[in-house]
Amino acid sequence: MLSNQTQLLRLSQGQLNLLEACPRKFQHTYLEQLSSPLNPEHEERQTLGSRFHLLMQQREMGLPIDSFLEADAQLQSWMAGFANAAPEILTPAIDNQTFRESEHYRTLQVQDYLLVVVYDLLIADNQQAQIIDWKTYPKPPSKRKLEQNWQTRLYMFLLAETSEYLPENISMTYWFVQSQGKPENIKFNYNTAQHQQIDKKLQKLLNQLTIWLESYQKNQPFPQVRDGSKVCDYCQFAPRCDRTQATEEIANNSLPNIDSIQEVSL
Ligand code: SF4
């Protein structure tokens, strides 16, 4: 699992979020592969989210989707709502100048790490590139929260680093297909100043990770967040970390963060 000269440690946006939220949680989840089962409600939501992603992928590939829609009223209503709200996204390019691909995969090596992204849909022409991401949970987070999420930062950063597009010509749009019954979107434009800032943050976080990994190899665990931190209230590792959760209800009902739901796992 640890990086060496021939093997790079792969990192997705979800892992960067974990690392930033609590390094010890990253250790438990990623290095030690510990996790607790999702509660049935979360599991059901996750399955439905995955089905929607698959449906959009099949559609983009030109494969028939009618039988899926007929068998699932929820998918049918999401798709109808989305087709109404953003017909231009669902309309395939009729020229040869626009590139469209669902589940578009890119990687970038930074230090000893391989950063990996999978865009739900990438639409690019000779002027601009748009990253589209589907979310199927009910309530969109605030724009500020989403902006701070490594998914937003890493997705646009990686496209700017691995393509000819200037940051100013890159955007990312989240579509929340079931928010209040009507799809909503949150769009982020990118620029050079943000790109440089993210680069700095990323380098710092990865430098820190290298130090923590070296210590971990000498049996020194990754740091925990400070005692009393709210993040422990919602963490499944609280007993392992000797941190008490506020109530059992919180532990049982704690929502997984947005990275663990409805995303392709990397
Ligand atoms: S209980 Fe707190 S310190 Fe322990 S892994 Fe979870 S968030 Fe980190």
Q: Give the pLDDT of residue 196.
A: 98
3-state secondary structure string across the chain: CCCCCCCCEEECHHHHHHHHHCHHHHHHHHHCCCCCCCCHHHHHHHHHHHHHHHHHHHHHCCCCCHHHHHHCHHHHHHHHHHHHHCHHHHCCCCCCCCEEEEEEEEEEEECCEEEEEEEEEEEECCCCEEEEEEECCCCCCCHHHHHHCHHHHHHHHHHHHHCCCCHHHEEEEEEECCHHHCCEEEEEECCHHHHHHHHHHHHHHHHHHHHHHHHHHCCCCCCCCCCCCHHHHCCCCCCCCCCCCCCHHHHHHCCCCHHHCCCCCC
- Please enumerate in sequence order all residues whose Cβ is within 8 A of that of 62, keeping only pairs 6 or more positions apart, or say none: none
Residue 178, pLDDT > 90, answer no
- Ligand 1 pocket list (CB less than 6 A): 22, 24-25, 28, 224-225, 231-232, 235, 237-238, 241, 243
Q: Give the pLDDT of residue 187.
A: 97
Q: Give the pLDDT of residue 257.
A: 46
Q: Give the pLDDT of residue 253.
A: 45
Span from the CA of 201 to the centroid of ligand 1 (angstroms)? 22
pTM for the full model?
Answer: 0.87
pLDDT for 15-42, tens place per residue?
A: 999 999 999 999 999 999 887 666 777 7
Query: What does the pLDDT average to over 35-57?
Result: 79
Residue 138, pLDDT > 80, answer no
Percent of the chain scoring above 70 in pLDDT: 86
Q: Give the pLDDT of residue 256.
A: 44
**Domains, the chain:** 9-260 (3.90.320.10)
Q: Give the pLDDT of residue 35.
A: 76
Name the residue at shortest CA distance from atom 1 of ligand 1. 238
More confident residue, 58 or 119: 119
Q: Give the pLDDT of residue 22.
A: 96
Please provide the average confidence, as pLDDT, over all residues in the chain: 86
Span from the CA of 131 to the centroid of ligand 1 (angstroms)? 32
